[in-house]
Amino acid sequence: MARIDLNHIRHAYGANPKSDKDYALREVHYGFEDGGAYALLGPSGCGKTTLLNIISGLLHASHGQLLFDGKDVTRLSTQERNIAQVFQFPVIYDTMTVYDNLAFPLRNRGVGEADVDRKVRETLDMIDLASWAKRKARGLTADQKQKISLGRGLVRSDVNAILFDEPLTVIDPHMKWVLRSQLKKLHRQFGFTMVYVTHDQTEALTFADKVVVMYDGQIVQIGTPAELFEKPSHTFVGYFIGSPGMNVLPASIDGSSVKIGQETLTLGYQPQIAVGAKTELGIRPEFISLSRDGMPVSISKVEDIGRQKIVRAEFAGKPIAIVVPEDGEIPADPRVTFDPAAINIYADSWRIGREG
Ligand code: ADP
Ligand code: MG
């Protein structure tokens, strides 16, 4: 396993890129620690696969440098980088048995048959295909084929890292949960460096110790699930993580007060905002309370989602969402209060810290 450093990596698919928008990856400068479990999370088209393929060597970045344990591998082939990669759709040999599909990457590297057998059996158990070992891969379901693909990624213990690109897309929901737990367990047991790409926040938050959120060709935040929830660095992270996402309201700052429409709230610190920057207040639906006193709000809809209710309302002329407990009362003349500790201020979409 290895530490992976991406030094000022940029990538454009077309020739002669001129501006930021010509780059699928605008600038990624980050280190994945040896043995870390990371998720790359972001919407379709934000550059996740591009980044993963640059790490594995399927793609060579147009700018920047890639290091494994401090050694420059930028020009090395996939083979030389010694990385296992699991793709969104199965990549297997249809004419081989399930067993031989898993044995292939090991035999290919000259591993002795006794070790091959031990590793293959271990892996077959892990992916729950032991009873299918002698079957040809051809007749299997998409689901089973993808499990073989996962197995091929997991069977080698000498790799520098294992990369997963939305590997559970074709797997049924229950099995998804089982496999995700298996991957997590494997990570704890063997300490592989794992990078797991997904557009699904639940998958990212349950798999990873650290979630790398990408948006529009760049990393917008790296953090633990709690950090992403409490202090989204970019309004995009606020929207994308959480269900419903963070409320973002146009605001203006005056010293340590923030004004939204006709309402003024006290912050207890003075955000430093550059002149002319678009200023917004972010607050998650979980930190707004409905009350008898507070700021006026008009409710448009209440959605019952089991243990909680989502109240859709209009506040200062803008739509907001409020999460209330299942048995929470909805007053006839509703008003709202914002938990002051949960208010984030944004300038041109980036969070302004309390530090100043
Ligand atoms: P993600 O995996 O997050 O969905 P990708 O890395 O596949 O995103 O794509 C990032 C951007 O690069 C997208 O705008 C996509 O259209 C573009 N792109 C991806 N692959 C190619 C390619 N082979 N040639 C040209 N553009 C590409
Ligand atoms: Mg992709």
Taking the CA atoms of residue 46, residue 16, residue 8 and residue 72 in that order, the dihedral angle to the nearest 10 degrees is 110
Mean pLDDT over each residue of the chain, to the nearest integer = 93
Scan for tokens 């063997």, then name that residue.
190
Query: Closest ligand 1 atom, CA of 14?
Result: 25
Q: Decide whether any atom of ligand 1 lies within 6 Å of the 44 Cβ.
A: yes
Q: Decide whether any atom of ligand 1 lies within 6 Å of the 24 Cβ.
A: yes
Query: Closest ligand 1 atom, CA of 43?
Result: 3
Range 217-224 average pLDDT: 95
pLDDT at residue 72 is higher than 60: yes
Residue nearest to atom 16 of ligand 1 (CA): 45
- pLDDT computed for residue 349 by the predictor: 96
- Both tokens of residue 23? 């780059």
- pLDDT computed for residue 181 by the predictor: 84
Q: Quote the pTM value.
A: 0.91
Residue nearest to atom 13 of ligand 1 (CA): 45
pLDDT at residue 356 is higher than 60: no
- pLDDT computed for residue 219 by the predictor: 96
- pLDDT computed for residue 64 by the predictor: 97
- pLDDT computed for residue 329 by the predictor: 85
Q: Decide whether any atom of ligand 1 lies within 6 Å of the 296 Cβ.
A: no
- pLDDT computed for residue 32 by the predictor: 96
Query: Closest ligand 1 atom, CA of 166?
Result: 2
Amino acid at 56: S
Helices (H) and strands (E) in the chain, counts: 9, 23
Scan for tokens 């201020």, then name that residue.
345
pLDDT at residue 222 is higher than 50: yes
- Both tokens of residue 116? 């091959």
Q: In whole angstroms, what is the distance from residue 148 CA to residue 260 CA? A: 54
Q: Decide whether any atom of ligand 1 lies within 6 Å of the 198 Cβ.
A: no
pLDDT at residue 355 is higher than 70: no
Considering every ligand atom shown, identify the ligand nearest to the alpha carbon of residue 41 and give its number: 1
- Both tokens of residue 244? 């419903």
Range 182-193 average pLDDT: 86
Query: Closest ligand 1 atom, CA of 53?
Result: 6
- pLDDT computed for residue 178 by the predictor: 83
Please state, for a pLDDT cut of 90, what percent of the chain lies above it. 79
